[in-house]
Structure formats: C-alpha cells, structure tokens
Structure 1
C-alpha cells in the first residue's frame, strides 16, 4: 500500500482501534467506527481513523487503506483494504455500485408513506468554511443525480426507526434526502434535525451504518455488520422503538 510518514500512536489508541475490528482476513479489515471520530482529514486536531490504521502497519511500512468514508458523527461499518490489489478491486467495485450499504436512523415521526425511494439531484454548496449539500433541479450547474431508499421499521408517538440504503454516494446524501421529505434525522443540526427526542437530548446525529455487503477480492460476497452503539439503542428504547437491537 501507499508509503506515508507513520503516525505515532499511544497504547490506548492502538488498543481502541484494535477493539473496533469486526472482520479481518488476508485482504480486508472492517471496523465498527464510533461516532465522533473522523474517517479522514477534517479540521479537528485529533487522530482520524485513517491515522489509527498505523496500528496495523507491517514491517515494510505498508498499512491498510480506507476504501470509503463515514461522516464524523455517523457510527458503524467502515472497510479498509490490506493490500494494493484489494484496494484496486474494491475501488472498482465502489465505482460500479456493487457495495450494498444499510443504515439505521432515528427520526421524529414516521415518514409518509412508510417506505419509498428518494431520487433527487444534489449540489454541493460552500458556506464559510462548511460544506453543505442541497436538493437542486437536474439542470443546476454541478448537480449530481442521487437516489436512496427508506423503510420504516418501528414507530411510536415520539419517533421512528428507519432503514436507509443509498444507491449513490453523495456527501451527506441520506441526511439531505430525509430532510427533503420532511423527516430530518434526530440530532442532525446541519439539516434541521431535532435536538431532543422523547424529552431527552439527542447525543449526536442518529445515523448508524449497520451493515455492508461487498464483493470480496478473493471471490464471492461478504456481509459485515456492526451492532448498535449504546447511545443509539438507548435513545431508540426511550422513544418506545424497541430495546432488543443487537448492541455493539
């Protein structure tokens, strides 16, 4: 893989990133990323998941490489390639839309209808130092086609648990699409989500990448899943949306 300047990690950081591993074989390694950790880059002066991958560096200085990203406040499955051929294979698979990503999200009320497709173009907009996405007409300069599917899994008087699947990979796509149909994600300040739910403060953006199905470089398909983190399952339970979800 790419040779870069190694990042110095503490013993606690190495132990943490190793504890997040949910699948590993000769070609790939998958993590259950916690919320609040940037995948790559970002302006916060703290180690990203990409930095923490130095914990898996080999003696020749090569280390795994992330093949996709999650927003900083989104938790769940994220995949890295352990070899250059695996990285190339998975990069092509992503371009061909052969990865199936499934998310769980909390919203303040059940969508109407309870399931459906959202197929609207998005355009990137810079406001100060922040980047946003907004719904745009198909002929807007810079607009990109984007499509997501949603399905309501449980609902109550205080909110709903929805399953989301993106068919394209635009920045903030699921967040903007759900806001577009009037159901912004709880805790999503940027796109109009509620800061409280069921009388409790939302601890963060309530979006979790629960599973990823991908073609494996060695053949066949693999599905990797990440149980719900405690903050997500606790808020879901407080909204009377069930408490029996698999925990991370």
Structure 2
C-alpha cells in the first residue's frame, strides 16, 4: 500500500480538530523510517496556531492500518479534560470490522484481559498482544451487522464498541472469539505476513491469505461530552469495505 497524506477534516474549533485518517497513514513518527505522519500533516495545517502557543495532543491513536475518526486537542487544558473522559470510560467509540466466519451470536461482550505476548512466551513480534489472566482488564462489545459469502469463504460485518483502550484490543478480542479481522497481518495466524512486510519481503502467498491489503477495521463514530452536551463525529463505511461485503473483487495489491 502507498502512503498518502490525504486526511479529511471532519470538525474544527479553537479547542480541537477531528479528522478522518486513511490507512496506512501512521499517526506519530516511528523512528524506523522517514514517512508521512498524521501529526506532521496537522502541524503543517495548524502552523499559525502552533506558532501562537497552541499544542497538539492526539487522543485517539489508531493503528497504521486502521482508518477513521481521530480526535486531536489543540491546547493542554482541553487535552487534560478530554483525557479524563477517556480514563473514566465516558467516551463512546464505535468501529466497523470485516471478519472471517459467521459468529453463532448476534451480540456478545468480551471481557478477557490483555497483555503483551512477549511477557509470557517467546514472540518474534514485539507489539503482539494476547488474552491472558494476568493481563490488564478490558471490555469490548460486539454486534453482528451482516453475514455474507465470497469465493474465499464466509465473512461478517461486525460493529465493535470498546469500553477501554488497550493496544490492539478489538483485534485481540476478535481473534479470541474465533473471528479475526480480514487483512490483519498479526492476528488470526502466526504473524508471518507482518514479519515479511517489516523486512520488505511480503510474499504472494501471504498477500493471497490476507485477501485485503490492510486490516479491515475502521472507527466509524466517536462521542465526547463537552459544555453539557454530546459532541458526535462520524466517518462513513470505507468504499473497500462496501465492495468486499458485496462480493466484488478486492482489486490489485499495491504493496
């Protein structure tokens, strides 16, 4: 996938800016390579405000291959006030995922704790998480939106409602439920595709297994309380998700 700095501004005030982040745009510089970042794009867009003493605090840090709504505070007091809502689990978040298989449930809640896999076993992928009784508590609600079939097998559209914000939480919980996200290079298998991609050696076999060029996870809605009322920001279903669920060809890999 090629990276483009083409995020869309959904809402903006003197207190915050809300944008729609595309995949595979990374949020912060990783230090691994020189590439466009959402933070860099926002700094360029808001250069005048930053020169006047403003600051940027990205409050919803989506994974590189996750798209959707991102909330960014423009001042430290606003960042502090909104961060408290996240800590108290008062923020409402909704995601859409395309997953493998047809769940036997219509709705369910996963309360399984999560920790970094490397803490309890050997793992070549530092960022990989797993459910484990010694992990940190986290909760995600799930609701089946649709079940459909493609030449590659059975799939479902799932609405996801994370109450907490652990790393890779939705991805780990869906894997634990037996329905990993389509295109996820870390979860739902041994992680070989992720390791190949890191080395710049993504194989044709791995591409075929992924089906989609990125993990099919999108933040569709984010709501916070401000000045006594709910502020709600939404992002529509990505076009590639719509094509995938309709059974249309997924297109050519542009890795």
Report if TM-score (shorter chain) is over 0.5: yes
* Contact kept? 1:29, 1:80, Cα under 8 Å: yes
- Range that drifts further, 23-32 or 123-132: 123-132
Q: Deviations over 1:9-51 (max 9, x none)?
A: xxx95xx34xx10111221111110010111232342122112
* Contact kept? 2:115, 2:136, Cα under 8 Å: yes
Aligned residues: 218
- 1:31 pairs, out of 19, 30, 53, with 19
- 2:100 pairs, out of 108, 131, 135, with 108
After superposition, the Cα gap between the structure-2 partners of 1:135 and 1:108, relative to the gap in structure 1 and judged at 3 Å, is same
Give the match's secondary structure for 2:127.
Answer: strand
1:164 match = 160
1:76 match = 68
After superposition, the Cα gap between the structure-2 partners of 1:118 and 1:196, relative to the gap in structure 1 and judged at 3 Å, is farther
1:50 match = 39
* Contact kept? 1:188, 1:205, Cα under 8 Å: yes
Q: What is the CA-CA distance between 1:203 and the residue it aligns to? A: 2.1
Which 5+ residue runs of structure 2 have no aligned equivalent?
190-205, 250-255
Distance 2:73 2:223 in 1: 15
Give the match's secondary structure for 1:52.
Answer: helix
After superposition, the Cα gap between the structure-2 partners of 1:233 and 1:177, relative to the gap in structure 1 and judged at 3 Å, is same
1:177 match = 173
Which 5+ residue runs of structure 1 have no aligned equivalent?
1-11, 241-248
Q: What is the CA-CA distance between 1:146 and the residue it aligns to? A: 1.2
Q: Deviations over 1:81-137 (max 9, x none)?
A: 122221111111111111111000001222121210011111113434631111112
- Range that drifts further, 78-87 or 121-130: 121-130
Q: Flag as ranges the 4+ runs of structure 1 deviating above 3 A.
A: 126-129, 193-197
1:208 match = 218
- Range that drifts further, 105-114 or 52-61: 52-61
- Range that drifts further, 166-175 or 49-58: 49-58
Give the match's secondary structure for 2:18.
Answer: strand
Give the TM-score taking structure 2 as reference length.
0.78
* Contact kept? 1:66, 1:79, Cα under 8 Å: yes
* Contact kept? 1:56, 1:64, Cα under 8 Å: no
- 2:247 aligned with 1:238, yes or no? yes
* Contact kept? 1:119, 1:147, Cα under 8 Å: yes
- 2:124 aligned with 1:135, yes or no? no
Q: What is the CA-CA distance between 1:230 and the residue it aligns to? A: 2.2
- 2:140 aligned with 1:148, yes or no? yes
* Contact kept? 2:148, 2:245, Cα under 8 Å: no
Give the TM-score taking structure 1 as reference length.
0.81
